[in-house]
Amino acid sequence: MRDAAPQTIYLADYTPFGYVIDDVALTFTLDPHHTRVKSRIAFRPNPESTERRFFLHGEGLKLIGASIDGAPVTPELSDEGLTCEVPDAPFIWEAEVEIDPAGNTALEGLYMSNGMYCTQCEAEGFRKITYYPDRPDVMAVFSVTINGPHPVLLSNGNPVATQEHHAEWHDPWPKPSYLFALVAGDLIAHADSFTTRSGRDVALNLYVRPGDEHKCAFGMQALKASMRWDEHVYGREYDLDLFNIVAVDDFNMGAMENKGLNIFNSSAVLASPETATDANFERIEAIIAHEYFHNWTGNRITCRDWFQLCLKEGLTVYRDSQFTADMRSAPVKRISDVIDLRARQFAEDQGPLAHPVRPESFQEINNFYTATVYEKGAEVIGMLKRLVGDAAYYQALDLYFDRHDGDAATIEDWLKVFEDSTGRDLTQFKRWYSQAGTPRVKVTETWQDGSLTLHFAQHIPPSSATPDPQPQVIPVALGLVGPNGDEVLETRMLELTEAEQSFRFDDLGARPVASILRDFSAPVVLEHDLSDDERAHLLAHDSDPFNRWEQGRILARQSLLAMIRENADPDRAYLDGIHAVVSDESLDPAYRALMLGLPSQSDLATALHDAGDVPDPAAIHKVSEAMRDALAARFAEIAPRIYQACQIDAPYRPDADQAGRRSLGNAMLSLITRHHGPAKAQAQFDAADNMTQQLAALANLIRAEAGDAALAAFESQWQHDRLVMDKWFGLQVLEAKPDDAADVAEQLTRHADFNWKNPNRFRAVFGSLAAHHAGFHHVSGKGYRLLADWLIRLDPVNPQTTARMCAAFQTWARYDAARRNMIRAELDRILATPKLSRDTTEMLTRIRG
Ligand code: PHE
Ligand code: ZN
């Protein structure tokens, strides 16, 4: 929190630090409000820099004393750190500071959660622990001593000595400060081991609070599967004797890849069949993999500065999505990722928060852990792989690991590796990193004498981040489907590089239907004017599972838009086409369940806005309900049979096979509940022995306005379990009627267990409110007001989580004048709050435009 005008940091201003660190020794003496941290750092002038100002970051530290080569010094202190006269030769810096972990509610630096100590240093949290050059290009070997009255005292690397209340750790791998971690508490280890392919034995531990021991087995299996996968697919082995994971309840994000000591939000690692859903298990598997994969893509090769964040995050998201595709169903994973990308990243890229995958300036780096950096960053890597081919991709990755191991690298380094190993010029491709905005690709066709010509035009809408966008390299996977449903041209990759380009296919006989952008080969908006019949043809026959799903989705969207604009009835062809695919027992149940999903109400609002209409959230909600009713009627006969066929008569397993069947079964349950009433949902609720079945049943009961007893029963069954209670809080908001959503959320904030300082609990209520399109955008403005009230309250406690939640307002410009005015008034009210954090100020200023 600061009153001074916020400072903007620019990529173009990068200069290396003036000093190199050889090693760092830290000694912690833990105490809730008075922790002492001693540091001893060996500095020497950096031969690659002429900068000789000695500045160390430090925030909220009480300096007890400092010395250089043993002689006390009096540094000059500011809100951001300190400067000091230093010798023009190697020297030893020593300092002692006092910090207040129990008073640290921002959950950055060293803080306490349920009596345990833990740290979060990415991006700039280490400066809240001690004075240090807190930037990722300063890498050092750390030795850490911890004194504290706790049975478990952990830090990075390998343990070198442990006695009661005293532990010493040494991490042999040089690392930036953001990868530092410390944990202390009364914890229980779920232990296992892994032998790497070169025969190194690695001890694995998952540390949890007493009472959570039964929720560890799955995370541990996922860790071992990830270790094996990275060896097989990328040839990457683990590099320490020990790998520790710790679960904490209070955490701003999902998890953190600290070297050898990953710290996880408990929601991202703890699971048992009774308490976690199939979706939770899949997410946990992916996050465990993600953090583990960072050991190479992030830790061994790190980022030169925070502008390069996508270097580690885009690549690591890409790797974890490959892993999930291998462990489960590749098409289902791809479709789920596209749904998520469109919902979160496209919204960002098409609104006031648009920024390039590699931003060029920021005020608060915490605000750039975005869907654009992460998910679009991963899509960019997927495109690179499509363009160069699989073999060349893995060759380039080998060169990347060889050449840059131990480096703090840049996007230029990354692309150079591909240029050197493939001979390709990636100058134009690099625009994916520097230009904001979602490209729109328009396709028109001409058909003549057995030749089909596809004309492509690409257009990137200008934004304040990229006012003058230039054409990008867009890989478009294409196939042609013949009139009888056969594949007449197998998938091939077209490369768009110009604003306009055509491709001709000869000797075709009858006119085929073009299946364009198979597997969603590029993160673009495709505009391809197919007739409804042609779409239905692809829905029935396309060999590409993504495009099959996509055509169903487009038919649904077109029908929903016609229902809004023309009061049309739900489209018969859509209902019949979906009915045919969902009834097809040769298809994967998980895929059939995805086929039944409708475009989200927020997606429909975007579609209306793009077409020049003003979306009315209440009308969008109404037609979405009407379409679900129509699906329920169309499936009235078959739904009970499919539901029955999906019931599993075997012990619960969270694998793709069982999860797919439950997912289809529960899709049927919601159709059945709509059409035949809540009896089956009640029966499933009463009989459920796992959370997937219990929660799905509960959602249906609430939706059918028959959920009061079940909600009460659920609460008394689970009130001791925080993670399950987060679901209880969230579901009531998500499933509320639009008129009630804000009131339900408001009621829940009065509940005794609404611990609003816990980010999971805060998000359970307010993340759900923001996700409830018709509820949040209620014409009364009560959704906006309630969220603003609570953001104002949370900001002084936890700026990072507050700022992230502000994104709920990012789509304000597409609504009517009354809603726009109400939202702007709330943004201004928050902005007028005295001492508003830098995080929230930056977000709201950008959103407001
Ligand atoms: N680096 C973490 C990840 O992607 C995310 C994170 C960022 C966590 C900042 C905490 C704080 O896995
Ligand atoms: Zn990550």
Distance 245 CA to ligand 1 centre (A): 14
pLDDT band of 467, cuts 50, 70, 90: very high
Phi-psi region of 298 (alpha: psi -120 to 50; beta: other; left: phi over 0): left
Q: State whether the beta carbon of 369 lies less than 6 angstroms from ligand 1.
A: yes
pLDDT band of 8, cuts 50, 70, 90: very high
pLDDT of residue 1: 41
DSSP state string for 442-481: EEEEEEETTEEEEEEEEE----SS-SS-----EEEEEEEE
pLDDT of residue 4: 56
Mean pLDDT confidence for 669-688: 98
With a pLDDT cut of 90, the percent of the chain lying above it is 98
pLDDT above 90: residue 6 = no
Strand partners, 606: none
Contacts of 567 (CB under 8 A, 6+ apart): none
The CA distance from 679 to 673, in Å, is 8
Q: Residues 237, 198: contact at Cβ < 8 Å?
A: yes
With a pLDDT cut of 70, the percent of the chain lying above it is 99
Q: Residues 124, 179: contact at Cβ < 8 Å?
A: no
The CA distance from 693 to 706, in Å, is 17
Q: Which two tokens stand for residue 230?
A: 């990275």
Q: Which residue has the tokens 């004393």?
A: 65
Q: Which two tokens stand for residue 564?
A: 């809004």
pLDDT band of 54, cuts 50, 70, 90: very high
Average pLDDT for the chain: 98
For 170-190, write each residue's pLDDT tens digit: 999 999 999 999 999 999 999
Q: Angle of helix 782-794 relative to helix 817-831, nearest 10 degrees?
A: 20
pLDDT above 50: residue 3 = no
pLDDT of residue 161: 87
Of the residues 245, 284, 369, 798, which should be mutated to test ligand 1's pocket, given the most ligand atoms within 8 Å of the CB? 369
pLDDT band of 548, cuts 50, 70, 90: very high
Mean pLDDT confidence for 454-482: 98
Distance 136 CA to ligand 2 centre (A): 15
Report the nearest-CA residue for atom 9 of ligand 1: 122
pLDDT of residue 633: 98
Nearest to 1 by CA among 807, 791, 840, 848: 840
Instruction: Tell me the CA distances in angstroms from 215 to 277, 320, 337, 714, 734, one per residue in order.
Output: 13, 22, 26, 19, 26
pLDDT of residue 432: 99
* Distance in angstroms between the alpha carbons of the first and the last residue of the chain: 22
pLDDT of residue 109: 99
Strand partners, 330: none
Three-class SS state of 754: coil
pLDDT above 50: residue 654 = yes
Question: Which among 108, 291, 735, 826 is annotated as catalytic?
Answer: 291
Q: State whether the beta carbon of 365 lies less than 6 angstroms from ligand 1.
A: no
Of the residues 256, 257, 370, 800, which should be mutated to test ligand 1's pocket, given the most ligand atoms within 8 Å of the CB? 256
Q: State whether the beta carbon of 255 lies less than 6 angstroms from ligand 1.
A: yes
pLDDT above 60: residue 587 = yes
The CA distance from 118 to 108, in Å, is 9
**E strand or H helix at 243:** strand 242-248
pLDDT of residue 162: 86
Q: What is the number of other CB atoms lying within 10 angstroms of the CB of residue 210?
A: 8
pLDDT of residue 314: 99
Question: Which ligand 1 atom is the nearest neighbour of the CA of 287?
Answer: 12
What value of ipTM does the predicted structure carry? 0.99
pLDDT band of 724, cuts 50, 70, 90: very high
Distance 702 CA to ligand 2 centre (A): 36
- Cβ neighbourhood burial of 843 (10 Å; 0-12, 13-18, 19+): buried
pLDDT band of 219, cuts 50, 70, 90: very high
348 included as an active-site residue: no
Q: What is the 3-state secondary structure (H, E, C) of 632-671?
A: HHHCCCCHHHHHHHHCCCCCCCCCHHHHHHHHHHHHHHHH
Q: State whether the beta carbon of 256 lies less than 6 angstroms from ligand 1.
A: yes
The CA distance from 660 to 642, in Å, is 13
For 248-265, write each residue's pLDDT tens digit: 999 999 999 999 999 999
Contacts of 444 (CB under 8 A, 6+ apart): 454, 455, 529
pLDDT band of 240, cuts 50, 70, 90: very high
pTM of the model: 0.98
Report residue 369: phi and psi, to 5°.
-85, 75
The CA distance from 426 to 392, in Å, is 14
Mean pLDDT confidence for 825-829: 98
Strand partners, 734: none
**E strand or H helix at 708:** helix 708-718
Nearest to 310 by CA among 443, 412, 455: 412
pLDDT of residue 666: 98
Q: What is the dihedral of CA 475, 480, 481, 482, to 10 degrees?
A: 170
pLDDT of residue 48: 94
Q: Residues 263, 120: contact at Cβ < 8 Å?
A: yes
Report the nearest-CA residue for atom 12 of ligand 1: 256
pLDDT above 90: residue 2 = no
